Amino acid sequence: MTFATTSRKDLGADIMCEHDLDPGLRLVTGTRNVAWDIAWRIQTVRGGLFYDANYGAGMIESCHDVVDRRVLSTCQATIQAELRKDDRILSSTTSVRWSPATRTMSSELVCTSAAGPFRLVANVSEADTVVRVES
C-alpha cells in the first residue's frame, strides 16, 4: 500500500476569495493561497469566527481608536502573533503605519514560506480594506 506524502512546498489550495467567494470557484495555490489566508486573518476581528475565538488581528478596529505609537505597536505585535499561528510561514517581518489625513492604517508583511518569499500590503480604513499580494 502506498501513501501520498505532502511536500513542505505544498501550501494547500482554496477557493479564491478576495472580497467574496469567486463566482467561478477558481482555486488559488502556493504562496498566493498563504498570502490570502493571512490577509483574511489580519482583517477578521478577534472572536469574529464562532468556531475559532482566537482567530484574527482586527486591524479595522484600530482605525476607530485614537491612533498613537502604542496602538501601532500593539497592532504590529498582534499581526506578528497571527503570522506565527500559520505553520506555513517560516519567517516574517511586519511594519505598520498610520496616515492621520486619510485615517488609514497600512501594514506591510514580508513573509517566507517553504515555496519562497511573498509580500502583502494591507491598507485599512474605517470604510474600506485594500489588500495587495505580491509574490
Query: Is position 7 within any domain?
Result: no
Domain assignment of residue 90, yes or no = yes
Note whether residue 104 is domain-resident: yes
Report if residue 8 sits inside a domain: no
Instruction: Establish if 61 belongs to a structural domain.
Output: yes
Per-residue pLDDT 10s for the chain (135 aa) are 333 334 546 777 777 776 667 788 888 777 788 888 888 888 888 888 899 898 888 777 776 667 889 989 998 999 999 999 988 899 999 999 998 888 888 889 999 988 888 888 888 877 666 776 776
What CATH code is carried by the domain that includes residue 123?
A: 3.10.450.40
The answer to whether residue 46 is domain-embedded is: yes
Residue entry with cell 484600530: 62
Measure the CA–CA gap between 42 and 85, rounded to whole angstroms.
12
The residue among 28, 123, 43, 32 whose CA lies nearest residue 79 is 43
Q: Give how many domains the chain has, as a whole number.
A: 1
Residue 50's domain comprises 13-134
